[in-house]
Amino acid sequence: MTEALNRQALTSLLRRSELRRLLEVFNDGDEETRIVGGAVRNALLGRSVTEVDCTTTMLPDAIMERARRAGFKAVPTGIEHGTITVIVDGEPFEITTLREDVETDGRHAVVHFGRDFVRDAKRRDFTINALSLGIDGQLYDYTGGEADLAARRVRFIGEARIRIREDYLRIMRFFRFHAEYAQGEPDAEGLAASGAERQGLTILSKERIRHELLKLLAAKRAEETIRTLADHGFLTGLLDGVAELGRFERVAADDRDNPVATWRLAALAVMVGEDAERLREQLRLSNDEHRKLAAYAGLLSLLKTRTLPLEAGAIRRLVADHEPEVLGIVLAATAGEPFPVVHDEAREAIARYRNGTEPVPVFPLRGADLVEGGVPKGPMIGEMLAQARQAWLAEGCRTDASYAQELLERMLQQV
Ligand code: ATP
Ligand code: MG
């Protein structure tokens, strides 16, 4: 199956004024600079291009020097690999000196700077990632990338097994790019080589795995690809635990327009609180990501043991204590499981809390209200508030002023 590629988009890309100015400055005399990789790929697919990487015959020092002379800000973001970020009118571009690998050990490569576009293309991972575009609109394809892109096929450049042994992260990248850009089954050679070299993933840094896995989880065809990973025995090692494919698929179907990798990870890999702790370490999660997984685990345990059906009132009580978003994710994940049982009106209520059309109820009393009513400051205040909050939850989380007043009076009468 082949689909037309959008060559017109390459012309539009080259008309962007910041990019044009950049390319004019860096194509001069004997020096040549081209757009490369993801920007060319995405333009041809008619997708939006947000990051533009360039590759050049110039050496890093010369890039810095020429950028300064042209009045562009230049930041040596990865100078040891030959990468400089050049900022034109606020827009950053990564410019990297042409490279060739001279030595690889499965995770790092020793690179030499070169002046050869063909060798630079051949050290890249997949044919669809190795296309380059000259300032004059010429598309350079040294590896058959255009045909693979038209066929929506992710294929290694050269022999898959050899390329994987140079850098085992390419196994993860193979599945990640397949999930985002391909149609049909994964390329058979790439799949077989990935399976055969699977053990190599264990030598990689957690940060590199994390980056690719989170991108994969949010990719267009994440569900099918995660299933392929499971079928071929990758998932247990990657997650260091069991996977809940059904929950993952339900959450992914639910958030398709706005995928959130962290929630998808929660649905896939979190069953109990301990999973959130393990994944934090395993995938070097940020505090915020970890907090989300832990909140998911907490609500999941709470709801899985709930035998009473959830109606709208129960949802109101739940969102008083838990973020509506987490609740929505847990309910999406467990839809179709025997517990919890959720009424339609409850699902509608949760949608309203999530999109903000119905405000989350906020407990209406403060310690100061009790003090004003004559309760002495001290531990009693906390106890009374906790008791009032229990009553408030049991009575439907009302937030109107008359209810708040009545609740306060009831509490004060007890003293
Ligand atoms: P994205 O839109 O996901 O950023 P991208 O194509 O820009 O897509 P990056 O991971 O940013 O992907 O890498 C930029 C380019 O560098 C790739 O297109 C590929 O040509 C090359 N590349 C990156 N990582 C590797 C690798 N591990 N092995 C070989 N080539 C790589
Ligand atoms: Mg990129």
Which ligand lies nearest the alpha carbon of 154? 1
Report which DSSP code applies to 81.
G
Which ligand lies nearest the alpha carbon of 49? 1
Residues 353, 360 contacting (CB under 8 angstroms): yes
Is residue 1 pLDDT above 90, yes or no?
Answer: no
Distance separating alpha carbons of residues 140 and 145, to the nearest angstrom: 9
Residue closest via CA to ligand 1's atom 12 equals: 38
First to last CA, the chain: 78
Distance separating alpha carbons of residues 64 and 85, to the nearest angstrom: 9
- Substitution site in 125, 128, 133 for ligand 1 pocket (most atoms within 8 Å of beta carbon): 125
- Section 17-42 average pLDDT: 97
β-pair type (83-88, 91-97): antiparallel
Nearest Cα to Cα of residue 185 among 130, 232, 245: 232
How far CA 139 is from CA of 37, 90, 142, 205, in Å, comes to: 12, 27, 10, 35
pLDDT tens across 46-95, in order?
999 999 999 999 999 999 999 999 999 999 998 888 899 999 999 999 99
What is the per-residue burial (b if ≥16 Cβ within 10 Å, else e) of 144-182?
ebbebbbbbbbbbbeebeebbbbbbbbbbbbbbbbbbbb
Percent of the chain exceeding pLDDT 90 equals 95
pLDDT band per the 50, 70, 90 thresholds, residue 35:
very high
Mean pLDDT (the chain) is 96
Ion ligand 2 — residues with CB < 5 Å: 38
Q: What separation in Å is there between the alpha carbon of 39 and the centre of ligand 2?
A: 8
Q: Determine the atom of ligand 1 nearest the C-alpha atom of 173.
A: 27
pLDDT band per the 50, 70, 90 thresholds, residue 2:
low
Tokens of 177: 């790019």
**Cβ-based neighbour number of residue 407 at 10 Å:** 20
Which ligand lies nearest the alpha carbon of 165? 1
The edge-to-edge listing of strands for the beta sheet with 91-97 is 73-78, 83-88, 91-97, 53-56, 33-36, 132-133, 139-140
pLDDT tens across 124-141, in order?
999 999 999 999 999 999
Is residue 389 pLDDT above 70, yes or no?
Answer: yes
